[in-house]
Amino acid sequence: METVRVSASREYDVIIGTGILDTAGERIKAIKKPCRVCVVSDDTVFALYGERLRKSLENSGFSVCEFVFPHGEESKSLENFGKIQEFCAENSITRTDLIVALGGGVTGDLAGFAAASYLRGVDFVGIPTTVLSMVDSSVGGKTAVNLKAGKNLCGAFYQPILVLADCDTLGTLPHETFCEGCAEIIKYGMILDGEFLEFLQDNSISDNIEKVVKRCVEIKRDVVNRDEFENGDRKLLNFGHTIGHAVEKCSNLKISHGNAVAIGMVIAARGAYKTGLISEDFTKILLPVLKANDLPTECEFSADELYRAALSDKKRSLDTISLIVPEKFGLCKIVKVSVEELETFIELGLK
């Protein structure tokens, strides 16, 4: 069992290990007295773990209601956000009560934004059940839903009071879903930790999952502690995401987030090299480690399609957009390019 302490605008622990789900109630009770709890989960995850979580919470004195929605990125919508608000009101959730997210990134983002907004903020606990959510989206306080114009365009920074990462839940993931979370893991090595990147090159992620999750959470913790509201260094965490989000949008969300980020990292690295922003071709590092984890490295969409989709990215500012590109082994940097340069950058990154 490992604990990583996050010291943002709200301090909280991320507890990583096995056998945690069945002790969730007592762990939450240690920091919050029994109250009314709204568990938010998708239909797939709830069928696997919902009753165990309910039992654990009720055994610790909590009263539980559950909002279950259809799984998939399409559910991260304003419509479901509104439904959670209404559900909480109908079930008499008050400002002293609690929302718990049980599931992957979609669930965490949706439930976290609902918690940030309902009654202007109720406490929130994350119980991530995918690799991607454990190593990335459950930590740091970014919550959001998607708009038609793009991903995560409506949301808030809102920190949880606790994150419980039970690695046992990863055992039920389909192979493809496990692998897509590995894209975010590789991202951490690329942006800030060359030693970790070397470890990923030489070792199996699945065989070292607790160690890997802990290191990713530590890296994100350090970044969030320095820059909670993404005014500087936190932008580094977006390596592969600007173009990755464009890939998702062009696919009508049929390409998952992790797979899209893998593609986005390759395009960003190649585009930066071919446009002269960096002097070394880092795809020679990226491609082998991505392929070793069964992640895609090529894109079916044109530069024009990706460019138009990327223009709605939230990292755009007037006529420039921030891109994250490799600078050294295990280190990335933030560069600004004009929107006119972006299409050329993407076009060269595709080849």
- What positions carry a catalytic annotation? 120, 142, 184, 220, 230, 234, 238, 241, 245, 257
**How, if at all, do strands 123-128 and 320-328 pair?**
unpaired
For residue 164, give Cα distances in angstroms to 2, 24, 112. Answer: 11, 7, 14
Residues paired with 6 in a beta bridge: 12
d(CA 276, CA 228): 31
Whether residue 145 contacts residue 113, with contact meaning beta carbons closer than 8 Å, is answered with yes
SS3 label, residue 294: coil
Q: Residues near 177 by Cβ (< 8 Å), separated by ≥ 6?
A: 130, 131, 256
For 187-208, letters b (16+ CB in 10 Å) and e give bbbbbbbeebbebbeeeebeee
d(CA 310, CA 302): 12
Whether residue 124 contacts residue 158, with contact meaning beta carbons closer than 8 Å, is answered with yes
Task: Find, among 151, 159, 136, 193, the residue nearest to 326 by Cα.
Answer: 193
| Residue 298 CA, distance from chain mean position | 22
For residue 129, give Cα distances in angstroms to 50, 171, 183. Answer: 12, 10, 16
| N-term to C-term CA, the chain | 44
SS3 label, residue 244: helix
